[in-house]
Structure 1
Amino acid sequence: MLTLWLQALRFYNCNNLQLNGFTSLNRPSKHIGLQSCSNVSVSHLHIRVPKTSPNTDGILISGSSQINIFHSIIGTGDAIKSGSSHINIILVACGPGHGISVGSLGIGGGNHIVEEVHVRNCSFIGTTNGARIKTRKVISILITSVRYFVLLSPNLSSYNNVHPNF
């Protein structure tokens, strides 16, 4: 199934990628897409959308591994999709938006795997969820070693959610 991503930057099948100091404002859908990438370092980003922007992803990670995102302001949500592993998100300020989401697992059936996601020292301001895992009812979903450490959020609708049906 071909997915059309409307985003400012899309990286497909890139290895040893470094993205530093990028600014993206008011995109209608996704800002940065990492699909089938490995060994990626993303830092010092500034991503902003209006508070009323619906379900906008700052960084969408799909089928990628060894992704490090740090020292950034992501004024919307981030999504980690199936096939992704060894994702580190450190010192990132999120919001508004949905927060950091391991999500949409189970769409289209089949096997869905996400492994080794570590979120550390991040803040969530004006987000609806903070950190969440979102799945559909399917036969096979494997989520292992998703860890959240020192998350700060003064105004959050729900915190550390696991959504079994969306």
Structure 2
Amino acid sequence: MGFAFVNNSRINGITSLNSKMGHFNFFSVHHFNITDVTVTAPGDSPNTDGLKFGFCSNINISRTHIGTGDDCIAILSGTTNMDISNVNCGPGHGISVGSLGKNKEEKDVNGLTVRDIVFNGTSDGIRIKTWESSASKILVSNFVYENIQMINVGNPINIDQKYCPHPPCENKVKSLCARYKLR
């Protein structure tokens, strides 16, 4: 389900079950509240982000349960002033900022509060990912994480500045070239 250019609205008490791709996508959405939402997909289902935001502002997410095969919540370029509280995440890849820096048009991500969260059986908890060779200069700032509980989480905090989901990757190619003295 997609929301684009929506202002001053909300979703409440809805369930998304076994979507074949991402469940809820938000683009250029402002002043939006999400409460009592349940998102469920198998832990091994690819590209099933729960909630994905790009170029959004003043978003509140609360009393929500998200279990997917990808990011529970994905926060992309240009998203500001987001408050996430009382969310259960798992399975999935946690709450992710990024990936950032792939395209020139990307904007800063600013003002994120994540509190009273339970990560259970996720690969990551809190995650920030940027491409190694960034096409743009992006600032990620004013983040607050508090009262976070991690249960069976692979990487509780994962800051990856050499994100590369589809090898070969630039840093791996360089290291192989150095190892074999290739140019």
TM (normalized to structure 2)? 0.83
Deviation, structure 1 residue 109: 3.0
2:143, 2:124 → 1: CA distance? 16
Q: Which residue does the alignment assign to 1:90?
A: 85
Q: Which residue does the alignment assign to 2:158?
A: 161
1:161, 1:10 → 2: CA distance? 28
Answer yes or no: is the 8 Å Cα contact 1:79–1:103 preserved in 2: yes
Number of aligned residues: 158
Deviation, structure 1 residue 152: 0.6
2:121, 2:151 → 1: CA distance? 8
2:90, 2:115 → 1: CA distance? 16
In structure 1, which of residues 130, 135, 143 is the aligned counterpart of residue 125 of structure 2? Answer: 130
Q: Which residue does the alignment assign to 1:61?
A: 53
TM (normalized to structure 1)? 0.91
Unaligned 5+ residue runs, structure 1? 1-8
Deviation, structure 1 residue 55: 3.8
Deviation, structure 1 residue 67: 0.2
Unaligned 5+ residue runs, structure 2? 164-183
Q: Which residue does the alignment assign to 1:11?
A: 3
Answer yes or no: is the 8 Å Cα contact 2:36–2:62 preserved in 1: yes
Residues 1:117 and 2:117 are matched in the alignment: no
In structure 2, which of residues 27, 44, 47 is the aligned counterpart of residue 52 of structure 1? Answer: 44
Deviation, structure 1 residue 141: 1.3
2:143, 2:20 → 1: CA distance? 29
Q: Percent of counterpart pairs with the same letter?
A: 38
Query: Greater share of strand residues, 1 or 2?
Result: 1
Deviation, structure 1 residue 124: 0.5
1:104, 1:62 → 2: CA distance? 11
